[in-house]
Amino acid sequence: MMKNRTQEKEVVFIDGARTPFLRAQTEFKTCTVYDLGRYVVSGLINATKLEGSHIDHVYYGNVIQDVNTHNIAREIALAGGLHGSIPATTVSMACISSNIALTMATEAITTGSIESAVVGGVDVMSDIPIRFRKPFRQKLLETQRYKKPTDWLKFFKGLRPSDLLPEIPSISEFSTGDTMGKSCDKMVAKYGVSREEQDAYALKSHHRAHEATEKGMLNEEIVPVPLKNGKSIIKVDNGIRGDSTQKKLSTLSPAFIKPHGTVTAGNASFLTDGASAGLVMEKQRALDLGYKPKAVIRHFAFVAQRPGDELLIGPAFAVPKVLDAMKLKIDDIDVFEFHEAFAGQMLTVLKALDSNDFAKKRLQRNKKIGKIPEEKLNKWGGSLSIGHPFAATGMRLVTTAANRLIREDGRFALIAACAAGGQGHAMIIERYQG
């Protein structure tokens, strides 16, 4: 957690960008993380008129990693148009990977190690690495020691037919074996969140995102992506369902715990392809270079607890930390941008923050944090409707929050997200008034 030291340098958020977020196996299915990452970084460079000499480091998140681009930050930086002398670091913290990329840059700037950075994240769920099972992988590695053709006669010795089957990465928790959806089902049952509440929340997310798209609210943050040698230009998110209804959502079957679970494909975020990027600088350097910041990074926190039936409740623990550090209350916040992994996860977090019982038993506080106003939360939609390319979501939240602060003439924005492994994050940014 960043300490509140009065002598530290201020870190400003100049601007952010993202590709359209598309459902996996749709238009971006031929793309790689390298492709989407370089598009969004080059888009950020164009939008900010960024010069390579202005950047000291690149921090970039990626969850589903490809061995061919194991340091995807470096490959994206080079291909995206940044100078080859700029170091680049790839980071991974599940769904808050671009959040940790941003905070690593922030800490480096506040301590004077660097003065500026490009940060962000990318994941392409249409292109996950599928490998052979370990016994077959070991056999393949042994072939490097083969000297003559007859050595291949022993290749299949000891292998079973099942060893030849592909090994598809699991999206379940390694420590528990449960998927996020199953964990969410357990959590909503524990906190008494109904199926109807979850469907209603998901519906609101889709309708808000649809309205924001129709009014052009999201255009400022989206970098169009050319496909098929420029014959096709992707400009908008394709997972938003503006025509969805509560009745349609109510017909969907439980996706994880059957037949009595309440988490469905309709009230959960979908597998998504997309990338994001942002530019942060030490305030005085940004002003000297002629940049106009959008916001100041004020405070952030990361939390964690053992995975289990509260895998995704992290924001309920992280939000109080940043509010306390800034001596703020819920009523002082003008814009809330929370990651919507599942409608049930969001509703559980909101219930916990507004619960005196949760405050006393889990936060060791005398009273609840407070009720987050519905009209201030995810006003332009969220991950349920826009999509969730794991590592890219955090920077989308910050970019949207900064843009909303300006449009809505607000001062403070609160960003929060849950992540695999029982982790969570919260951050407060303040609209730049210089």
Evaluate if residue 428 carries a pLDDT over 90. yes
As a residue count, the chain comes to: 434
Give dist(CA 232, CA 12) in Å, integer. Answer: 35
Q: pLDDT tier at 130 (50, 70, 90 boundaries)?
A: confident
Among 33-42, 141-150, 214-223, 395-404, the minimum mean pLDDT is found in 141-150
Evaluate if residue 212 carries a pLDDT over 80. yes
pTM: 0.93
Percentage of the residues of the chain whose pLDDT score is greater than 90: 84
Q: pLDDT tier at 167 (50, 70, 90 boundaries)?
A: confident
Evaluate if residue 163 carries a pLDDT over 60. yes
Among 50-54, 158-162, 322-326, 393-397, the minimum mean pLDDT is found in 158-162
Give dist(CA 103, CA 37) in Å, integer. Answer: 19
Q: pLDDT tier at 1 (50, 70, 90 boundaries)?
A: very low
- Annotation: CATH topology of 11-127+270-431: Peroxisomal Thiolase; Chain A, domain 1 (3.40.47)
Evaluate if residue 111 carries a pLDDT over 90. yes
Q: pLDDT tier at 6 (50, 70, 90 boundaries)?
A: very low
Q: What 3-state class would DSSP assign to 76?
A: helix
Span 275-291, pLDDT tens digits: 999 999 999 999 999 99
**pLDDT at residue number 161:** 85
Q: In whole angstroms, what separates CA 86 from the centre of its chain?
A: 24
Question: What average pLDDT does the segment 376-383 reach?
Answer: 98
CB-side exposure of 9: number of CA atoms within 13 Å? 21
Question: What average pLDDT does the segment 141-167 reach?
Answer: 87
Evaluate if residue 320 carries a pLDDT over 90. yes
**pLDDT at residue number 173:** 82
DSSP per-residue codes, 347-367: HHHHHHHT-HHHHHHHS--SS
Neighbours of 390 (CB within 10 A): 29
Question: What average pLDDT does the segment 46-50 reach?
Answer: 95
Span 59-107, pLDDT tens digits: 999 999 988 899 999 999 999 999 999 999 999 999 999 999 999 999 9
Span 398-411, pLDDT tens digits: 999 999 999 999 99
**pLDDT at residue number 3:** 45
Average pLDDT, the chain: 94
**pLDDT at residue number 47:** 95
Residue 119 near residue 101, CB atoms below 8 Å: yes
Q: pLDDT tier at 359 (50, 70, 90 boundaries)?
A: very high
11 compared with 134, residue with greater pLDDT: 11
Torsion sign, CA atoms 262, 400, 270, 34? negative
Give dist(CA 429, CA 395) in Å, integer. Answer: 13
Q: pLDDT tier at 7 (50, 70, 90 boundaries)?
A: low
Helix or strand holding residue 284 (H, E): helix 283-288
Q: Which residue numbers are catalytic?
A: 95, 418
**pLDDT at residue number 129:** 82
Evaluate if residue 23 carries a pLDDT over 90. yes
Please return the burial class of 155, using the count of CB atoms within 10 Å of its CB with bins 0-12, 13-18 and 19+: middle
User: What does the block give as tokens for 46?
Assistant: 């164009």
325 backbone φψ class: left, alpha, beta (φ>0; ψ -120 to 50): alpha
Evaluate if residue 327 carries a pLDDT over 70. yes
